[in-house]
Structure 1
Amino acid sequence: MDPLRSGTRPEPRVEARPRLVAAPRRLRVCQVMSADLWAGAEVQLATVASYLVERGDIELSAVLFNEGELAVELRRLGVAVTIIDERENGALAILASLTRWLRTHPVDIVHTHRGKDTVLGAVAARFAGASGVVRTVHGLSEPWRGWRWLKNEVYEAIDGLTLRCLTDRIVVVSQRMAEGHERSGYPAEKVIAIPNGVHLERVRPARMREEVRLELGIGPAVPLIGTVGRLSPVKGHAHFLEAARLILQREPRARFLVVGDGPLRDQLERTARGLGIGDACAFVGARPDVYDLVAAMDVFVLSSLGEGIPMALLEAMALGTPVVATAVGGVPEVVAHRATGLLVASGDEPGLAEACLELARDPGKARTLAARARRAAEQSFSHERNGAALCEVYRGITGDPGGRGRRGVRSRLVRFARRVRGAVAVAITLRQRRRMEHIRREPGPLVTALRSAKRILIVCHGNIIRSPFTARLVAQTLGDDRRVSISSVGLAARPGTPSPPAAVLAARRRRVELGDHVAATITREAVAASDVVFVMDIPQLRAMRKRFRRDRAKMFLLACLAPALPLEVRDPFGGDDASFQECFDHISACVRPIVGRLAEGAAR
């Protein structure tokens, strides 16, 4: 029926209207950094900033403690940069200024990068009411000496407390670094591995390869082997120079290029002259045309003793230059041996020389590896991939209902006080790790102790797997040399407990018999009578140093002389056969250099 004729009113027609969804508020992120160098961390921050400024949902700012190249680059990208000059302000003055700045320029996330800016930035962020604090750990700290070492140790200890108590997320640049932080007591959910990234469109040479080599006085057929990095101890340039000497013995035409500056430049130049290779080496300092120089090399070398994921390595891969690198830190996560480059053990100068010669003499192989490396950089190490992962971290903090939010100062201080005790333990653990890593870089005291040692004590937790296997393997390898006594004990051993069957079977495959072994507990007398004491991991080192304070100087990790291996030997107890095999492989590799040093002492 017609509704008009029936006297009824028709239902009003309602047009469907699209629902308006509010755009998410722009996330305000402030990068805080000391920025006193132009090194890998600064390059990575500039690289990720080039991605963040292009995103419409991020509002980026920066507070730096030094004017320099990073400040110039960030301003070029359009980032608002504020300088609180550390040369004119002490730590407390910087903290006060930074807190005032954050209160007058409210931000959601404060992102820090090194120890000093983390301590000051995190505290200022909490006082100013920022929602979250993120810290990126880029790699190892410099092995300073003297007053700078002491000053750095203080900052590192405070930094450990800050990471534990005042940061929401710890971003590390490699999976190996993430595992190390988790072993040191940081919660796994707080530690996130995000590899560094390179801006592939910007990492390009501006000049032809031939032009650059002509400027350097190097002919097209001359092998040019080079490295880029800050001239500091951790970069291992002394090993690069020794490898160069070995290369020249077999390839006299080779030339070597060292790009970068730093505290060791004069010393390294003297070393090159002392090795008789000064005329073949060019130290060109820090250069703005670094991409041109790397693209002109036949082989790029990374000789570092420790790394996160080095930007110089990623840039060489992006430029299509064949790479030879030491297998340290996160480097094996970037370079697949004989697939995208060649890897050698840290400090292995003959191996480094051999790898460089292999690529220099086989251009076809070098081109193949370089092309694969470029594809790997495109697929896994782009600045877009890195930046997007970082944005997820930021959003995860601000969107976390259990996040910190804008708590009052008093409640934050109470929370801080409650967690100090646990943080102190973490700081001690980190300090012991750094001490052992320092011994890896400079093993002189341990080598000297082994050469004169008469009694070696091997310690693990229960004295049923790791320490007895190690002790018997060392004794068997020494053979008839009875000059050195080798014994093993456990920190928490139950006397008389036998080795588990899985350990006995795994050891027998290596011709080490544990079937007759029973556990023995540690005693003060055993420690005092020993010349060198080896333990398996950092917690055991902490426990030993606490219980036997007078004998601290003789305590070392078993892996101290094997820098290419993980620093700690994991306990396979309760694991499957593969766990025991992996553990015993690790121990066997650690034992070789120890036995070598003991044998040197016997030969004297």
Structure 2
Amino acid sequence: MSASATLSIASRPDATTGGVSPTSHRILHVFRAPVGGLFRHVVDLARLQAAAGHEVGIVCDASTGGERAAQALADLASSLSLGVVRVPMHRNPHHSDLTALRTLGERARVTGATVLHGHGAKGGVYARTARVTGAVPIRAYTPHGGSYNYKPGTLRHRFYMGVERLLALRTDVFLFESEYVAGRHRAHAGRPRLARIVHNGICEAEFLPVAPTADAYDLLYIGELRDAKGVPFLLEALANLRRKGRSLRLLMVGSGPDADLLAARVRAMGLGHAVAFEPPQPIRAVLARGRIMVVPSLAESLPYVVLEAAAAQHPLVATNVGGIPEIFGTAASHLVPPRDADALEDAIVRVIDEAPDARAAWFADLGASVQARFSMKRMGADVLSGYAAAFRARADARAVAVGVDQAL
């Protein structure tokens, strides 16, 4: 065993350290699908934490993400000293969950994990319920929206919020990615014992403006292809604009469970010649191919796609849902209500018809605001601060318990 490995193992919290925060963590990030903003968040955190001297590993689903995810994990390998384990994980409760939990528990034991950090609803369940023998790691949870986006009052929402109330008992620290999700938790699952708001952050290079190409599409959608993202309302707005004489074209970049249904809807609406579909690809190259990005979401947490477009000073129309107002800040009045194709249409026209200089100034101001508030370095530091607070809380609880025993 190397000297560095010995140091890391010796510094993990156990009965001899009293639960004090170690100088070097062994962190396992647990999540289901290596796709989208959640995956980007984990990748960024893993790199930041490895660069800060911590040992990092990943446990995620074996079947989603395809070649793009496999390549991203291969590119990340140098930062993952605790490796990658991929095991079947289903979105909804499934008998395979038992295998995944055993795999995670064993991986935590073998690696001597000091932190299990669950991301998303499924990753959060695994990280907080896996049985780990030996030293018990702290258990952190970042929801990324997930089950918090279900409509309040529905049977599904009540069920998942009941689960969250139970799992809160096994959560050392909540690291909410938006005030919106934190508020949903307080309202429907109770006030957490320990919580931090850790906004998603992006790197300095992403704040460079992106200029459109000469043959850019008029409108751009980037994200999952599913009805919950509000795509039908965007298509309706596009159809209305074209009927009114605006010959706009839309590029849709992404994949998802409703891809075929949406393609069929495009054809049925007579928009086949005005809408193009392309698979997921790096966002900055895609931003250059559209003049206005539209985010018609019905529910969100703190979407990276909005952060990335705003940082690039790209003209943007978005709905007033989830944590998007936190990104827009003082410009949140420009957001439109969800499920309203007419409001979406009006917002698109407003941006199109804005004088070029005024439009550029508008989105330059938004970019500067995002740059001041959503730093990747700050995100990484705030996550580590959350871990440290959890270790301190555990140490304090043990000290109190020892004091009670001595008093008795």
- TM value normalised by structure 1: 0.55
1:190 to 164, 173, 194: 194
Deviations 1:83-106 (A, max 9, x none): 242179922222222212211111
Instruction: Look up the SS of the partner of 1:48 in the other structure.
Output: helix
Instruction: Look up the SS of the partner of 1:107 in the other structure.
Output: coil
Q: Distance in 2 between matches of 1:87 and 1:179?
A: 28
Distance change (3 Å), C-alpha of 1:341 and 1:75: farther
Structure 1 equivalent of residue 175 of structure 2: 171
Q: Distance in 2 between matches of 1:53 and 1:130?
A: 22
Q: How does 1:223-234 map to 2 (within 5 A)?
A: 224-234=218-228
Q: Distance in 2 between matches of 1:185 and 1:51?
A: 31
Instruction: Look up the SS of the partner of 1:138 in the other structure.
Output: coil
Structure 1 equivalent of residue 18 of structure 2: none
Q: Distance in 1 between matches of 2:321 and 2:218?
A: 24
Identity of aligned residues (%): 25
Distance change (3 Å), C-alpha of 1:60 and 1:204: farther
1:101 to 93, 102, 107: 107
Divergent runs of 4+, >4 A:
67-71, 125-128, 141-144, 152-155, 202-205
Q: Distance in 2 between matches of 1:43 and 1:177?
A: 19
- Determine if contact 1:323/1:341 at 8 Å carries over to the other structure: no
Q: Distance in 2 between matches of 1:300 and 1:255?
A: 12
Distance change (3 Å), C-alpha of 1:91 and 1:253: same
Distance change (3 Å), C-alpha of 1:70 and 1:130: farther
Q: Does 1:51 align with 2:48?
A: yes
Q: Does 1:260 align with 2:280?
A: no
Distance change (3 Å), C-alpha of 1:159 and 1:105: farther
Q: Distance in 1 between matches of 2:23 and 2:197?
A: 27
- Determine if contact 1:109/1:133 at 8 Å carries over to the other structure: yes
Q: Distance in 2 between matches of 1:176 and 1:24?
A: 31
Instruction: Look up the SS of the partner of 1:180 in the other structure.
Output: helix
Q: Does 1:385 align with 2:389?
A: no
Task: Give the C-alpha shift of residue 189 in structure 1.
Answer: 4.2
The aligned amino acid for 1:28 is: R
Structure 2 equivalent of residue 343 of structure 1: 335
Query: Which structure's CA Rg is the greater one?
Result: 1
Structure 2 equivalent of residue 61 of structure 1: 57
Q: Distance in 2 between matches of 1:343 and 1:70?
A: 32
- Determine if contact 1:245/1:277 at 8 Å carries over to the other structure: yes
Distance change (3 Å), C-alpha of 1:261 and 1:204: farther
- Determine if contact 2:200/2:374 at 8 Å carries over to the other structure: yes
Task: Give the C-alpha shift of residue 303 in structure 1.
Answer: 0.4
Instruction: Look up the SS of the partner of 2:87 in the other structure.
Output: coil
Task: Give the C-alpha shift of residue 398 in structure 1.
Answer: 1.7
Superposed CA RMSD in Å reads 3.2
Q: Does 1:118 align with 2:117?
A: no
Q: Where does structure 2 lack aligned partners over 5 or more consecutive residues?
A: 1-20, 402-408
Q: Distance in 2 between matches of 1:85 and 1:395?
A: 29
Task: Give the C-alpha shift of residue 208 in structure 1.
Answer: 7.0
Task: Give the C-alpha shift of residue 154 in structure 1.
Answer: 11
- Determine if contact 1:99/1:124 at 8 Å carries over to the other structure: yes
Task: Give the C-alpha shift of residue 228 in structure 1.
Answer: 0.8
Q: How does 1:99-248 map to 2 (within 5 A)?
A: 99-124=105-130, 126-141=132-147, 156=160, 159-201=163-205, 209-210=212-213, 214=215, 218=216, 224-248=218-242
The aligned amino acid for 1:269 is: A
Task: Give the C-alpha shift of residue 403 in structure 1.
Answer: 5.2
The aligned amino acid for 1:133 is: R
Distance change (3 Å), C-alpha of 1:345 and 1:155: closer
Structure 2 equivalent of residue 279 of structure 1: 273
Instruction: Look up the SS of the partner of 2:335 in the other structure.
Output: strand
Structure 2 equivalent of residue 76 of structure 1: 75
The aligned amino acid for 1:82 is: V
Instruction: Look up the SS of the partner of 1:243 in the other structure.
Output: helix
Instruction: Look up the SS of the partner of 2:309 in the other structure.
Output: helix
- Determine if contact 1:247/1:354 at 8 Å carries over to the other structure: no
The aligned amino acid for 1:353 is: E
2:24 to 11, 16, 26: 26
Q: Does 1:92 align with 2:98?
A: yes
Deviations 1:467-505 (A, max 9, x none): xxxxxxxxxxxxxxxxxxxxxxxxxxxxxxxxxxxxxxx
Q: Distance in 2 between matches of 1:140 and 1:170?
A: 14
- Determine if contact 1:49/1:74 at 8 Å carries over to the other structure: no
Q: How does 1:185-584 map to 2 (within 5 A)?
A: 185-201=189-205, 209-210=212-213, 214=215, 218=216, 224-287=218-281, 289-336=282-329, 339=331, 342-362=334-354, 363-400=356-393, 401-402=395-396
Q: Where does structure 1 lack aligned partners over 5 or more consecutive residues?
A: 1-22, 408-604
Q: Distance in 2 between matches of 1:269 and 1:203?
A: 33
Distance change (3 Å), C-alpha of 1:70 and 1:169: farther
Larger RCO (CA under 8 A, 6+ residues apart): 2
Q: Distance in 2 between matches of 1:90 and 1:55?
A: 35
Q: Distance in 2 between matches of 1:249 and 1:403?
A: 66
Q: Distance in 1 between matches of 2:296 and 2:202?
A: 20
Q: Distance in 1 between matches of 2:44 and 2:159?
A: 27
Aligned residues: 365
Q: Distance in 2 between matches of 1:162 and 1:93?
A: 21
The aligned amino acid for 2:59 is: V
